[in-house]
Amino acid sequence: MYDTIAAISSGNINQAISIIRVSGPEAFDIVSKIFTGKVGKDKTLTFGNIMDQEQMVDEVLVAWFVGPNTFVGEDTVEINAHGGVVNTNKILELILANGARMAENGEFSRRSFMNGKMDLVKAEAINDLIHAKSESQTQLSVKKFDGKTSKLIDELKNKLLNIIATCEVNIDYPEYDDVEQLTTENLLPALMKIENEIKEIVRVSTSSRVIYEGVSVAIVGKPNAGKSSLLNALLQEEKAIVTDTPGTTRDIVEGSLQVGQVLLKIKDTAGIHKTEDKIEKIGIEKSISEISKSDLVIHLIDSKEGQTKEDEEIELAAKGKPYLKVWNKNDLVQQKGISISAKENELKELYEAIEEEFKNIDLNDERIVYNTRQLSLIKASLISIQDAISGLNMQLGPDTIIIDIQKAWDDLANILGKADQEDLLDSMFKNFCLGK
């Protein structure tokens, strides 16, 4: 049996309405000690005053929820107060003084998980939604609420569980004639089918993670191609210094913006060219390094000067990367291809090219697993299954390969939180907001 916890779940700031959440076996009794209105029935609102002995603290609406049919899975009360910081904290103080304990970060969600109201996939999705910084992050987080990803993982677990059970029977009761005899011929296809399913999850998830995390974009080019002007135009602020002097940018300047469904993390780099200046050389080395680390390279070329040998070297350095060749200063000279004017803020063709680059990523694919912890466990389960397949090809018996299959099952179970790992749960929920 849990104790009763409380916290401000709407954020401790001045706002129109604040919400104080109380959850646990004594939630109704504790609130009724300081509330003048009626104790409501399940899923009802009642109006009244919060009192500190004879002194009124606030007029409030109180929502009553009877467990276990609540988010947390236990009796829960939510006090909707006027959103001042002082009165909201006073109400919380009264609740704590009457027997509740201050909730830890994520404790309401943790209880919800422990009470079987949601698995870790949904719990992490809630936290991801709270911290989302782009439309694509929001969309991917909300998609996890429908349980389809959890169902997909559950189905894979069940397939492995059936194989594990059959292996165990073959090991423990080899003399039983009515038990399916496992051989390489019937076990290998089953494992290879699961391997292919997990490979597909890894494939679509890896390609989609760049959308969730943000696309790292390196703006590269020769000095005075207009890289800093482009960064400023994209961000709509004077982030980088713009002068007519070549080589002004010697360090990485960066910022973020949303283009379509993509969050761009843009970096303006030092102009790449031959130089004897030691400081400038360091900047150029950083620029080349950014090309290798980026998800997308925007190669900016001066339309008036045209493509030079140094531009050809930049293009070669970006080989194998998503790459956009962009002609700048189209207000002076027009070139074929993606043509812009950073100075005049004419960027339409660049925006369209960026959206085109990532248009084939389907954020509605239920196989997408963007969460780092979940994806690493899926990859680990894939390795274990591949180890089991290798063992079968080496003519190893069920008693040997079952270890790898069990490991794969454990990894998938940990995605949903179905394995008993207290340390994992502590690490997970401590990153949640207070009152969640």
| H-only helix segments in 343-397 | 348-357, 372-393
SS3 23: strand
Taking the C-alpha atoms of residue 131 and residue 137, their distance in angstroms, rounded to an integer, is 9
CA dihedral for 126, 127, 131, 132, sign (positive or negative): negative
Check the annotation: does 269 bind a ligand.
yes
Q: Annotated binding residue at 289? A: no
336 annotated as a binding-site residue: no
DSSP 257-297: EEETTEEEEEEE-PPPS----HHHHHHHHHHHHHHHH-SEE
Is 274 annotated in a binding site? The answer is no
Residue with tokens 């996939």: 121
Residue 430 annotated in ligand binding: no
Residue 226, marked binder: yes
User: Quick one: pLDDT at residue 11?
Assistant: 84
Is 271 marked as binding a ligand?
Answer: yes
Q: What is the largest CA-CA distance in the chain?
A: 86
225 annotated as belonging to a binding site for a ligand: yes
Q: Note whether 79 and 62 are within 8 A (CB).
A: yes
Q: Known binder of ligand: residue 4?
A: no
| Per-residue pLDDT at 111 | 93
pLDDT at 334: 78
Residue 7 forms beta bridges with which residues? Answer: 21
pLDDT on residue 287: 62
52 is in an annotated binding site: no
Task: Please tell me the distance from the alpha carbon of residue 333 to that of residue 393, in angstroms, as a whole number.
Answer: 63
What's residue 66's pLDDT? 97
User: Is 112 annotated as belonging to a binding site?
Assistant: no
According to the annotation, is 227 in a ligand binding site?
yes
Structure confidence at residue 276 (pLDDT): 46
Check the annotation: does 248 bind a ligand. yes
Whether residue 209 is annotated as binding a ligand: the answer is no
The whole-angstrom separation of Cα 381 and Cα 399 is: 19
pTM over 0.85: no
246 among annotated binding-site residues: yes
249 is in an annotated binding site: yes
245 marked among binding-site residues: yes
**Domains of the chain, each with CATH number or no CATH:** 5-114 (3.30.1360.120), 148-209+371-417 (1.20.120.430), 214-357 (3.40.50.300)
Q: What is the pLDDT of residue 198?
A: 96
List per-block mean pLDDT (blocks of 10 residues) for the chain, which spans 436 residues.
Answer: 90 92 97 95 96 96 96 97 95 97 93 91 89 84 88 92 80 60 78 96 85 85 83 76 43 75 79 46 58 87 86 84 90 84 91 88 84 93 96 85 92 83 52 61
